[in-house]
Every structure is written in structure tokens, then in C-alpha cells.
Amino acid sequence: MATKRRDALDRARRQLAELLHSEERFDLVEAAMWVAAEEYGDLDVDHECSRVRLLCAEGSRRVHPVTNPFARLDGLRVYLFEEMGFRGNLEQYNDPRNSFLNDVLDRRLGIPLTLSILFIEQARAAGFDACGVGLPGHFVTRVTYGERTILVDPFHGGNVITHEDCRELVARSTGRGWLFRPAYLEGTSDRAMLARLLMNLKYAYLGRTDYARALSVVERLLLLSPDDSSEIRDRGFLQARLGRAGAAIADLERYLSLAPDAPDTKSVEGRLVWLRRRASETN
């Protein structure tokens, strides 16, 4: 059984890597499902992707005769958030399941990012040009139909929001409203959305001190950005937590070579001294 699960996990990692490296623009829903497949070893990714397509097709069918962009959006909102019952998981916001798209489909619960992924797919199927908007501390969407561009907050029932609402969302979620920049509203790429999904999952596992799963997430973040010095550093710290001193030393040495002027250089050097001593004592 352990070998079978290991094979399933390896396949999920390979499939994600192939998807990311095949072209710059990839199927975000499929990528998110391959992320989930490392947690759910028997996940049928094709079936889960088809569930999303069917959801989108039904939303598109319902608004097909509507030409007014606000009315079209409202039709999508009513279907996804009222009839289907998708909503933000305020009670267990940091539950890792909120970052697994298959689980979001099953439980109709998610975080701003995963609900935005579903809403973006539905909006695109309905003829909108849609993308994610990665605000500090929150995630919303931007949709365009004809000459109208509209901001939507899927976490709060698909409400239409304004620029000032976005500033307020940043202030509420981070306590630092000054972090808001109008440039955020230009939108973000699907690749950046996948990275943010993985970051959410990473911090959910760290909050539970589940270092093995956090390490697996960092490894997938490095599939997206192989030379990301901060993730190489974090991989080193997690390797150390898991008792893999040699791998930790290699990662932290590489981090220092990539970011020699980083503000945490001294603390990383101190950790390296400790790890080298520990490795020598073990040998």
C-alpha cells in the first residue's frame, strides 16, 4: 500500500512539473488538481476537471441570453454562490482543505483564491475576460465584458466591489491599508495564482507544524521558480527540522550564495554552524 501511494504521489509531481514546463500558459484548474493529488493519492484529476467544466457550462448556459454585463455577472453570482452554495470558510480559514480545489467542490467552502479560481473559470466560459487580482491579504477577480470592467469578490458571495472597497479589504485583512496600490488591480497571471495557492498551503501546514507536508509544498514552489532564494532557504530550514542535515546545509549554502546581502544572512550563517557541528557529531 505504501508503494502504491508513493507511486501516486510521484505521478502527481511529474504531471505538475510537465504541465508547468510545457508552456507559459497552462490550465490552472488542472494544475490545482495535481497539487491536490499529492494529498489525495487516488484523485481522478480528469474527473475533477470535468466537474469544474460542467459547473462553468451550466453557469454560461443560464446567462447566455443576457447582454448587460452586470446582469450577466449577477446571473453567475446567483448560480455559483446562492444556488450551488459556494462560500468563504470564515470558521476554518486556515484549513488546508480550503486550498484543494477538489475539496472546495465537495464542501462548497474555500478561501478567496480557490473561490476566485472557480469564478474566473465560470466567467471565462460565459464570455468574460477574467483574471485574478492579488491584493495583499485578500484575493478578488477582475472581469471585462465589452467596454465594462468590474471587480468581484468571490469570498464574499461574488459581490461587485469598487477600488475603495479593495483598499478597505487590504486594511481589514492586513491591518495596513497603505499596502494597497492601484497597480494590483491590473491583475495577475495564472502562474502567480498557482504560486499563491501553494503559499497558502505552505503556511497552513506550517501553522500545524506539519513540516513534511510543508516541505512538499516548497518543492512544488521551486518547480515554478527554481532559483527563488527564499524558498531554497525555507527548504533548508524544513530539511533541518526533519533531521536531514546534509540536504539542509546544501540549501542554506546555496541561499547565501544567491542572496549574500539578505537581512537574515547572519542568522542563516549561525544555523549553518550548528548544522555542520551536528553533522560532524553524527558522522
* Residue whose grid cell is 544567491: 258
Which residue's C-alpha cell is 524544513? 238
* Residue 189: other Cβ atoms inside 10 A: 14
Q: What is the pLDDT of residues 139-160, one digit of tens each?
A: 999 999 988 999 999 999 999 9
Q: What is the pTM of this model?
A: 0.94
Q: Is residue 229 scored above 70 in pLDDT?
A: yes
Whether 16 and 35 have beta carbons less than 8 Å apart is answered as: yes
The mean pLDDT of the chain is 94
Say how far apart CA 135 and CA 188 lie, in whole Å: 10
Domains recognised in the chain with CATH numbers: 2-190 (3.10.620), 227-282 (no CATH)
- Judge contact between 122 and 80, C-beta under 8 A: yes
Q: What is the pLDDT of residue 41?
A: 87
> Could you read off the pLDDT of 234-264 as tens digits, one per residue?
999 999 999 999 999 999 999 999 999 999 9
